[in-house]
Structure 1
Amino acid sequence: MAAHSVSADLRSRLAVSLPALPQMLLKLMEYCQSDDIGMDAFAGLIAKDAAMTATVLRVANSSAYHRGRQSSANLEQALIAIGSNMVKTILISESVSQVFANFSRAGSTDLRGFWKHAITAGVMARLIAAKMDYPFVEEAYLAGLLHDVGRLALLAAAPADYADNFHAPEDDNLCAVEERAFGITHAEAGAWIIESWQLDSFMADSVRYHHEPAVRIEAAHPLIRIISLTHHLCTQGQTDRVAAVAGALCGLHAGDLDTIAERAQAEVREAAEYLGIDLNAADEARPVAVPPPDPVQLQLGQHVQSLSIMSEVARTFAEHPEQSALLDAISQSARILFSFKDVAILLVDSAEQELQAAATDGHRQRLSSFAIPLGAGGRIADAVAQERLAYIRRSQDALGIFEEQLLRILDAGCLLCLPLTNRRGCVGVLVGALDERQLDDLRKRETLLHAFASQATAALVKGIGARTAATDGLASLAQEYRDATRRVAHEVNNPLSIIRNYLSVLDRKLSRQESIDTEISILNEEIDRIGQLVDGLADLQPATQDGTADINAVINAMVRLFRDSEFAPASVTIAARTPDERCEVAGGIGSLRQIFMNLLKNAVEALPDGGEIEIVNNGLINCDGRLYVEVLVSDTGSGMPAEVMANLFLPTRSSKGKGHQGLGLSIVKGLVKQIDGRIGCRSSVLGTTFEVWLPVLGQPERVQGALMPIQHKV
């Protein structure tokens, strides 16, 4: 198998086999770097893990610490008996042991040699750190334990291919062999894993560079130099060469190395014993023979692996609902899964006329105005039109200008065009940059490519739908504000007209030195009414006042208002017929005044040559078992044509000229509906009558009479 093919496949398998880092280890490293954390805090942390608690109690009550004392019955006593250094060693080692055990397929391999090497490296790293006065000695211990985690990860990802390398000596040739065979070294794989766990960046670098020549890292971060020297000591022992490395990297002498090696040997045995790790014959551990894979099982495993990858991809995309972040996530995931050198994403525009480059991380400037007309032809446009995957080579003849531009922008020898489609069509295309030698491997993984495209498309469509809904919502809200503004402007005209007319009445009364108390009271009411209308603008819908009102008093007050304010010309007479008794209906006085103000104003406007208007309390109506008071507003005008009647209660453009919004009756309809009333209209050449049904307050169980007698006329 070619190195580039193995590398691409291994990277995707590493992503699947990567176990989660125990949260306890993250918290523990935080505690280890703090000077203010006591044993009670460590006890609280350990108590959350039953296995860890059992390990600590077992060590505390072992012969090494018990020595005739009373057994440690609780966790805090056990921690005090063991001491802080051994506590940290046990906790870190136990957490890392969980990580190692969780790497898939590692259980079939003898890990004793690996464990001995890891614990030795951890102990030596901590001793070197202490000798150098490096403040975070437990961080050095963890880095030493994990410095070869990449070997275990590669074994889990490719057990058949990597088994021999896993047990090979870790000399200077190992990384070269891994690079040639797999396209990735265990140092690179380990650093990538530590970065995936979001541990300290210098810890990842200490793993990445532990095979580097000493001269390259002499000025590097102390942790990088500590792990490098640890690697030399573990693999070569206390030689003159290692002593020279120790002096160059850490300022240590041969005598220091002898002391470190002697102490490390004792501490390794002690730590292994307490952790229950059998290191006997660890150096003779050999790779377990791996039988040839069964083709059916291999195919099933690849299918399961693809499902696992796509599940993780879908979860990643779901975490980025905002389009820019989602596009970045799609681009980065494609790079990792398929080893693309670079990625560009082009989306179909809203008019479906062209592909427009999306501003993803790394291409916000270079591709900011790049677009491909869908009707221009070319390999990319054809791939979108035919919804099929396409490969483009720089060496091909007759490439279109857009393909040449993308090859140059992405600095690629080849392009893979992956349409992002669903049943409704294509939303865009992902263009991956790659080398020609990667083509064969990607052709074998086209099923995974199409699955990735489906997940990316679903995430993009969901995001587009959410943005469309948000845009529609904003447009709807803007329209509601426009309607509310028109409504308020219309309704404010009514009290303004009354105020204007009453000012004329005031002028005349003042000249005659008559009392104006009634007029002042009405003016104050109308000014308050204007304030209420303006305040209600934020509510978008006509506001109704809670409560009840005597409809007879409202009717008579409106008739007096129209008469006294000269709202109606002298040629129009307005009369009201109501009973003497109070008649309580649902709805506040303000809402009822607004309803009948608009109806009376409409009636006046229907009588340009004069006529009669009558507003009548026509008594009770029983409709479907519910009682209403019927109020009729009639005029003797010429009636309304059928086309006007058909759209009577809808907002329309008024034909009455300046100052008319065409909203009066739609406002009336809305207010009546809000108080659970009903409104209708009859019109003929003999006149027009509006019938308003207002719910009676406190519906009685039994109706004694069908109609209330009309007793007097105003």
Structure 2
Amino acid sequence: MKQTHIFEKIKQSNTLPQLPQVMLRLIKACNSGKTSIDELAEIISTDPSLTSRLLQIIGSPYINLPKAVNSIKNAVVYLGVDTIRNMAISTSAMRFFNVSKIVPEFDIGRFWYHSYKCGVIAKKIALENNFSDPDEFFLAGLLHDIGRLVLLQNFPDDYKTVLQTTPNEKQILAAEMEMFGADTPQVSAWLFRQWNLNPLIADAVLFINEPIEQIKSALFHVKVVFISNILAGRTAVLEKIPDIICLTDIPRTGLEQIAVEAEQEVFDMAKSLGINSDYVQDNDCEESLTCEIKDLSLFFGTLRNLLQARDVDAVLDVAQNGFKIIFNVPRMFYFFLDEKKNMLTGGCSSNDKANKIIQSIALPISNTSSLVVKCLKENTVQNSLKQTPYQKLAISDTQLIRLLEAKGMYCVPICSSKNTSGIMVLGVDAATAKTLDDNSGLVRLFSQQTGVCIQSIRFYNDYAVNIHEKKMQAYSTLTDKVIHEINNPIAIIKNYIQTLGLKLPDKHPVQEDLCVINEEMSRVAGLLDKLRSFSSPKIDGFEPVDINQLCLGILEILKKSILLPKQIEADILVDPEMPRVKTDRNGLKQVFINLIKNAAEAMNKGGKITVTTRFLSDSAKIMIDEKKRIPGSVEIVISDDGPGIDETIKETLFEPYTTTKTGTANAGLGLAIVHSIVKELNGKITCKTKPGKGTFFIIILPVISSKMKQG
């Protein structure tokens, strides 16, 4: 069969693999970070199958869209770039790896294991050499033998004859040439050109079996794929490195490490997903590996998104999108361990219609009948659909299933390196639960990576808070020592001044100097008293306080004395649902006065100060199984439209002697005192500011609190 004839016949067949250029464009566009929503929508609209998949996801009754989606652009806006990228990866993988079982003699398991390993090695070598587009090398390694599948699909009977010739690769290539007039590398390279891929990559595939002497003079694309194919072999891989070391600047130890890492990476991934990694014939191997490659592609896409997430909510959104696309899990809730309160607190996507309800739910750890609690304690998956009629579900489990609007729930532990920190609760039916069971390895990988990312984010945040608290404590301790050490000599000096004044005549000229010295010593003592307000804020008894009335009263007082003379408008927005807060009235009063005065002093050209109160309803929790309510927290925000605070001092804003003002006796102590008082009230204070846009001080206080124990 002549070569030109074989290519024409393949081209006219209906089984020619199509590399969807739209997928490559879409993935690159999503990765660039500069592509507009309109451009993404235009790319998607050129591919009917991708458009269909997009509308299938967006049309799910569980998405709870605020309004109907009537355009691809709106769908892209709603799903987000990360989900769109994952759709492109998974759809591309399915197109590449959907091979029909038409020639049982062909070992598809061995074929794909070698192909995937070759792709992994090619990408590692490209990264090691800092080549551009390492994914292009991965694609070349992954699909370097795809020509064999093309021949197999188009000429199955003829290819059976080829396979009967010998299992030796060299002889198979010779048999292909004799039978078809073209061998696997030639067909693969031809197909790459049909796909309009980089011609250098097509050449790399074409020359993959040439003698090493000819490869030495080739471009690096050819060398990389050639080396990858050798290192992806079945046996004696490391022994072949001396033969190919001349093709690369990577030292022998580096190539050995790449080969070992790639083998372990492919083996571990196959094992974790429940795929048999042995090179044996398996009737179900093709289907399994097809799913594996799809899942691997999607997993790595999701993993990258997880690593890029900057907060816990972003991590959970990425994980939820992964479950939605791979397993068609329509909805999921989360429960995280609150060790201090010995309970699990709920959460879910802000777009979920049950968001407010789930955020108000808590599960006591003491309720061992709850599958969610059992999942946490035993660190094992729990499936409500596997419960026997004799195992009655806890009330909380039944309610969660109703909120999920599903037949049952599938609980997956979120694990970190230390322990189980939370639970993913997935809404499932019997078919979805079985799919999750069958892909337990991938499910476990998702949960572990999610747990690790959450642990890292929380560690960073907790570490930053801990460092700040320790600094503030150190300042406080040092201040106490300074006050103690200075007060003693001040008292002695003042006594000597008084004694000296009594010994001298009333009209002695030194009397006037003694008065000045005494006044200055009193001023020093006054400064020390202000320092003591920072190191040891005066907190009296805790009592129920009407925060709204307290804020109104303080604003009325400060309007006349401070705000109106500076042409500053004051406004207050109170939450009528604000409960009384058990706290120290005078301490809180000092906090509000200091913050409002600070804002006023920064607004030389007038402006507006706004005080806002709000009950944080999502902080209040209902312990379902115990029918008990945890009261939650309130928020007080004092904002202004002044000049804002410079970024250079924002990090040290609450530390003593940090100030934007000059020439004042207590410069830099006001906010330090505010921070100390709020801490004593068991609350938190944060600041958000932007130069030229204003400043927001946000105070969070528990509804029920008590004085902190000293010690």
Please indicate, yes or no, whether the TM-score normalized by the shorter chain is above 0.5: no
TM-score (norm. length: structure 1): 0.35
TM-score (norm. length: structure 2): 0.35
